[in-house]
Amino acid sequence: MLSEDILIEMRMASGLSLQFVQSMDGARQIDRRRVRHFTGGNYYLSCFPDGALQHRHLRKNAPLRYVGIWVTPDLLTARYLDPEAIQNKELDDFLDGHLKTTLDLDAPLSVRMQNCMDDLFASEFEGLLQQEFVKIKMSELICAALPLLISDRQPSGDNVRAARESIKIQRVAALLETRLAVPPNCRALAREVSIGHNRLAALFTNYYGCSIHQYSKRCRMKQAEILIRSGKHSMSDIAAWTGYNDQSSFSRAYRAYFGHKPSDSRKYK
């Protein structure tokens, strides 16, 4: 969270900038062209010619969570792209060092990108292991983003909105599947994926055929059943891991969902 607005001016070298933004409230301007939003839920690919000018404005009191990657043309062709197979003229000019104006694209973050970023921020590795882990995840993000650059197509209009919303709904489902101990509510989820909570509730129901609360409960109950049948954990631990304050409330919820007591599930292994 920024305590004050930040204004940045950068003179760019020739290279590909990849910005994966989960949460941010900002704007940017390249070579004094029109100002464009720079906000959460999107990734931004920019092929800069040498000497391009970029301005960024990051607004205060907004969550800040993003990953930035810089790739030189030589590294792109050495590790990620076959120059002979490229049919996009602007990309070809960029790799040859003949690009005159910045090639600037953006699209919604995919669920794969979101999960990769979550892995990076949640990493518990240290030292050399951390360095290697970051390299792997950065390479994964680059591989996930480059098809937009190669395709020579920029999503537009209603297709963009539908794609963004579909990805956001899938992102919410992924969050519900992983945050079992402290299930997020609809408003918190809506803020995290940058969508109105009423629209989120409606779209989620259309997409998954149940409410967010029902989906969350299903995930928690299924996980509880797996843990119980493993026979390796106490009921109190399982209750805590699946979002219940005490064993009694967990047992009531479990019985209401499955029609039998948690202890009976051990018998059905």
Cα separations (Å) of 263 from 23, 155, 191, 259? 43, 52, 38, 12
Where are the domains positioned within the chain?
6-154, 161-269
CATH class of the domain whose range is 6-154: mainly beta
Q: Which superfamily is assigned to 161-269 in CATH? A: Homeodomain-like (1.10.10.60)
| pLDDT tens, N- to C-terminus, the chain (269 residues) | 678 899 999 999 999 999 998 888 889 999 888 888 888 778 899 999 999 999 999 888 877 889 999 999 999 999 998 888 777 788 888 998 899 899 888 877 877 888 899 899 888 899 999 999 999 999 999 999 988 787 654 555 555 577 678 778 877 888 888 888 888 889 999 988 888 989 999 999 988 888 999 999 988 998 898 888 888 889 999 999 999 998 999 999 999 998 888 888 776 55
The one-letter amino acid at 246: D
